[in-house]
Chain A
Amino acid sequence: MARRREKLPPDRSKALVAMTVNGERVEAPFEPHKTMLEVLREDLALTGTKHGCELGECGTCAVLLDGKPVLSCLVLGLECEGRSVETVEGMAGPEGLHPLQKAFADLGAAQCGYCTPGFLLTAKALLEENPRPTLPEIRQALAGNLCRCTGYVKIFEAVELAAAWLRGEAAEPRKESLYGYDFDESGLLPSHPGPVGAVLAAAREAAVDEGGDKPRPYRAKAR
């Protein structure tokens, strides 16, 4: 990836801008009207930063500018002169993935993954400021990032898990398996309740009207 560019012959339509991108000093020539998003994707070949609207509405293009989340589609490349930009490509360190990256991957917080870089950087800024965010604080911090796929739930879970890891707490994603009924001698009655039986066996009496169905033979206790 050509992050460090040789000085090009002078091109008066372009500005030569020096900034730090993911910890590396970069001098890049680009047209002065370009947004930081365009500079990142087109001139620096850092396509990890995505665009969803280029109108400042979706949060997909979020990067950190001097540690603060900004929408790179609303920042001119020129404004980044002498400043430090962090994109998703710069999140992993020598020890491997950033805990947020690992949590997003492990918990399935990236569905199509297109919104993921923006969420990761926004969440990183949050956790640097607030290592123990409550769920409402997480929601508030991520309110400017749209995701059309996940329903956000797994994103919240991933931020909570990463926050725990960053605080040095031991936490693990859930890992149960759904199936593998054992059957009784009839071959038809499971020996332990699945998700249906788990709810209904305990509360059979309280359940709503039978609607003509015969009561189903759930086992009350989990294996």
Chain B
Amino acid sequence: MKEKIRVGFEGDFQFREIEIAAGDPAPWDPSQKFSVVGTRQPRLDGKAKATGEAKYSIDVRLPGMLYGRILRCMLPAATVKSLDLSAARKMPGVRAAIALAEPGEKLRFAGQEVAAVAAETPDQAEDALAAIRVAYEARPFVVSLDDARKSGAPLVFEGKTETKTSGGDVESGGKNLARHGNVLGPRSTVKGDVDAGFQKAAGVVEGTYDTQVQTHSALETHGLVARWEGTELTVWASTQGIFDMRDQLAETLQIPVSKVRVITEYMGGGFGAKFGPRVEGLAAARLAKEAGAPVKLFLDRKEEQLASGNRPSARQTVKAGATRDGKLTALQLTVYGNGGTNGGTGTSGPVKNVYACENLKVDEYDVFTNAGPGTAMRAPGHPQGAFALEATMDELAKAIGMDPLEFRLKNDPSAVRREQFRVGAEKIGWKDRDARRKTSDPEILRGVGVGAAVWYNTGGTGPRATVTIHKDGSAEVEHGVQDLGTGSRTMVAMVAAEELGVPLDEVSVSIGDSRLPFAPDSGGSTTTPSSAPAIRRAAWEAKQALARAVAKEWKVPAESVKVEKGRVSAAGNPPHEATWAAACKLLPSEGVAATAERADNHEDAWKRFTTGCQFAEVEVDTATGKVRVNRVVAVHDCGVPINPLTTESQIQGGVIQGVSYALFEDRILDRPTGRMVNPNVEAYKIAGALDVPEIDVTLVSVWDGINNTNSVGIGEPATVPTAAAIANAVSHALGVRIRQIPITPEVVLAAVRERDSKGGRS
């Protein structure tokens, strides 16, 4: 059914006809007077989290529970010669031992899993690892990107490329891609003709940009508790996708999906690496089966940093050209990404999707090294790509003598982001940024930089929800989604409360269990846009069920009953009218319920990418090389945010991860031994309370009509442009281009020397 709806964003609304799926309510309108949506709602589980009552998977304790531990090979490349678990099996308290690698198997990074044991106490399990007899043959290895690309470098994969894949891994791309040595690819994208584009340009710049490996470093490590009852398996997991976990466990263990139950009541953070059971989860399930007792297996911090995934590093060369009046004519990216033993390291998202350019060429190569596998991490490829692209935009603006922001505005095809740029510029004080470079301390320079964010996903079909309206007027929602801390539990309740017109505290929510109606995995920032429309539709249908039940009591046609906020009525002779509570009293004792599926996205919606931009102001100490981020202005599109409190929190968290990525975080591998030298959260420095800038968040609500709540996700776009903006700000402060992150004091001091050798201080 076609409906005319209002779409757009503040300053640019328009009417649009869109096709609404039968049985789905039309998208909320910008004139809608919400009572719950759009208000700052504390998390429903805030109290449980602040009292220690919240039970995380790592807190689960079951009677007779055993503790699992994993033996890892600390050689960067080795072949298993022999593996003997018999002595370990006889160790005190040991109840099960399994091999995770077979003799003859090639191990490819320091920290790879070899065997696992389960014992009555954690100490006994640890002791038993020492009793496992395993012999390795060391093989030559390579851990640096440069070394790995050399001809004659030790090969990470001698035969076929066997990248490991867990649920969240980014695909390595076409199976038929050629691999030369350790270099796979390229995956290429060509649009127009870059050479012709460069010919036309008045200015051309080219630069090479290096980014490091970042680890997810969620505070709760990976792991799960597995319990078998006969042929049924229940796991309590720290996972971003309980249904994906369920399906992968069933498939790998070859048991029916119906026999697997996954529960995630609370989880201690997930940033892309917590998908599927992974090696440790499968090990726990197998150990539990062998021992005939539940097994808890969580990684320790060192294992977490070594082997649970990471954001691949990248070496990107970007070349770009523009006309004198500031139109991009050609954009070219060549990237060598390094995800250790995993591929899928491309960074081309921003280059392809932020600025408009007719002539584009992208070549993406995966370089393999003997290092822990990369996996999806908060906007895979994008913070890297944005860093290189936005630096290039600044350089090119300079080459053609244009203000870098004006240059961006001229090339940005997104009306929403152009406006976001203007809002951010106003808030950061862009126009006098040059005047503010000098501070009262001659050693300290100030700089302001900018970067753009792009993201795509708008959620999709699959999710289901059940909404029950009880006889006393309260309501219940069942939806199996996991809450990573983002506030999904609260979002579920808010959407139902809004649609039903019931106060938020009279809505109860059951989530985090694969026995509940199907819900999306939390990846790609798709949780809310996938879940919320299903919840709303279920609540809408439950209201119709209420109307039917009330109509029967009133003896009027069901279509004549209207359910509005807090009030149920039927026109006619005589007219009927009841409060919500009185109407619900007419229900049978079981109340009414509806289960609904999320409708498809509206094809004819006001389509866009999810956009955002961030501005950073930094102070750089040219004597010590230290960078301090004073302020980040983050302007983002999150569709129509359901809970501005938690949306803001996502953005603040994304910004601080970006600050941390720009200045501190760096996984360091020792070249002679091939081992990670900082598998911890100290030498692997993560931004702390002292490193937090002032963060100014502006949400630009965008009503696109793509689904019935206009919701999109924000987790990922929030961290895309931060490092880019900071690097541009440092470059602005110093007057020298920063081409590598993290921007450590060493990097800054080298830039200061470069500046000074080029002719004194500016």
- Interface residues in chain A, defined as those with a beta carbon under 8 Å from any beta carbon in chain B: 31, 33, 41, 45-50, 52-55, 57-58, 60, 87-89, 91-92, 97, 100-102, 104-108, 110-117, 120, 138-140, 142-156, 173-183, 187-190, 193-197, 199-200, 203, 206-213, 216-218
Also in contact, A88 and B51, with CB within 8 A (given A112-B269, A174-B40, A177-B34): yes
Can you list 25 contacts pairing A with B, beta carbon distance less than 8 Å? Answer: A47-B52, A47-B59, A52-B301, A55-B682, A89-B51, A104-B50, A105-B43, A111-B653, A114-B485, A138-B689, A148-B653, A153-B652, A153-B692, A173-B40, A177-B34, A178-B644, A178-B699, A180-B31, A181-B10, A190-B10, A190-B30, A195-B699, A197-B10, A211-B409, A211-B410
Whether A175 and B40, one on each chain, are in contact in the complex, defined by CB atoms closer than 8 angstroms, is yes
Task: Considering the complex, give the chain B residue whose CB is closest to the CB of A181.
Answer: B30
| B336: A residues at CB distance < 8 A | none
Also in contact, A111 and B485, with CB within 8 A (given A88-B52, A180-B34): yes
* Complex A-B, nearest 6 residue pairs according to Cβ-Cβ distance, in ascending order: A48-B52, A112-B485, A105-B46, A211-B409, A113-B49, A114-B268
Whether A179 and B50, one on each chain, are in contact in the complex, defined by CB atoms closer than 8 angstroms, is no
Contacts A182-B31, A190-B13 known; 7 new A-B pairs at CB < 8 A: A97-B51, A101-B51, A108-B646, A143-B689, A152-B652, A179-B701, A183-B30
Report the Cα distance A108→B41, complex, angstroms: 8
**Any A CB within 8 A of the CB of B158:** no
Instruction: For B6, give its contact among A50, A110, A187 (CB under 8 Å).
Output: A187
**Any A CB within 8 A of the CB of B681:** yes
Whether A55 and B301, one on each chain, are in contact in the complex, defined by CB atoms closer than 8 angstroms, is yes
User: A107 to nearest B CB, angstroms?
Assistant: 7
Whether B689 and A142, one on each chain, are in contact in the complex, defined by CB atoms closer than 8 angstroms, is yes
Whether B688 and A146, one on each chain, are in contact in the complex, defined by CB atoms closer than 8 angstroms, is yes
User: A5 to nearest B CB, angstroms?
Assistant: 16
Whether B425 and A207, one on each chain, are in contact in the complex, defined by CB atoms closer than 8 angstroms, is yes
**Any A CB within 8 A of the CB of B56:** yes
Whether A209 and B218, one on each chain, are in contact in the complex, defined by CB atoms closer than 8 angstroms, is no
- Interface residues in chain B, defined as those with a beta carbon under 8 Å from any beta carbon in chain A: 6, 8-15, 30-34, 37-40, 42-43, 45-56, 58-59, 61, 123, 217-220, 266-269, 271, 300-301, 403, 405-406, 409-410, 412, 415, 418-423, 425-427, 430-431, 484-487, 640-641, 644-646, 649, 651-657, 680-682, 686, 688-690, 692, 695, 698-701
Whether A89 and B52, one on each chain, are in contact in the complex, defined by CB atoms closer than 8 angstroms, is yes
Instruction: For B52, give its contact among A49, A60, A178 (CB under 8 Å).
Output: A49
Whether A146 and B412, one on each chain, are in contact in the complex, defined by CB atoms closer than 8 angstroms, is no
User: B283 to nearest A CB, angstroms?
Assistant: 20
User: A29 to nearest B CB, angstroms?
Assistant: 14
Whether A108 and B268, one on each chain, are in contact in the complex, defined by CB atoms closer than 8 angstroms, is no
Task: Considering the complex, give the chain B residue whose CB is closest to the CB of A46.
Answer: B52
Task: Considering the complex, give the chain B residue whose CB is closest to the CB of A33.
Answer: B123
Instruction: For B686, give its contact among A111, A148, A177, A208 (CB under 8 Å).
Output: A148
User: A10 to nearest B CB, angstroms?
Assistant: 19
Whether B406 and A209, one on each chain, are in contact in the complex, defined by CB atoms closer than 8 angstroms, is yes
Also in contact, A116 and B30, with CB within 8 A (given A52-B219, A57-B681, A152-B692): no
Whether B426 and A139, one on each chain, are in contact in the complex, defined by CB atoms closer than 8 angstroms, is no
Also in contact, A188 and B13, with CB within 8 A (given A50-B268, A149-B485): yes
Report the Cα distance A179→B430, complex, angstroms: 28
| A148: B residues at CB distance < 8 A | 217-219, 269, 271, 653, 657, 686
Whether B267 and A112, one on each chain, are in contact in the complex, defined by CB atoms closer than 8 angstroms, is yes
Report the Cα distance A22→B332, complex, angstroms: 62
| B418: A residues at CB distance < 8 A | 211, 213
Also in contact, A203 and B426, with CB within 8 A (given A151-B653, A175-B40, A190-B13): yes
| A146: B residues at CB distance < 8 A | 219, 681, 686, 688
| A196: B residues at CB distance < 8 A | 9-11, 419-420, 423, 698, 700
Report the Cα distance A18→B257, complex, angstroms: 49
Also in contact, A218 and B269, with CB within 8 A (given A101-B51, A108-B42, A151-B652): no
| A188: B residues at CB distance < 8 A | 6, 8, 13-15
| B55: A residues at CB distance < 8 A | 47
Task: Considering the complex, give the chain B residue whose CB is closest to the CB of A142.
Answer: B689
| B415: A residues at CB distance < 8 A | 213
User: B255 to nearest A CB, angstroms?
Assistant: 30
Whether B52 and A150, one on each chain, are in contact in the complex, defined by CB atoms closer than 8 angstroms, is no
Report the Cα distance A184→B219, complex, angstroms: 50
Report the Cα distance A145→B549, complex, angstroms: 54
| B487: A residues at CB distance < 8 A | 108, 111
| A182: B residues at CB distance < 8 A | 31
Report the Cα distance A41→B61, complex, angstroms: 10
Also in contact, A110 and B50, with CB within 8 A (given A152-B689, A194-B10, A208-B422): yes
Instruction: For B15, give its contact among A140, A143, A150, A187 (CB under 8 Å).
Output: A187
Also in contact, A208 and B405, with CB within 8 A (given A114-B56, A180-B34, A181-B31): yes
| A104: B residues at CB distance < 8 A | 46, 49-50
User: B32 to nearest A CB, angstroms?
Assistant: 7
Whether B50 and A97, one on each chain, are in contact in the complex, defined by CB atoms closer than 8 angstroms, is yes
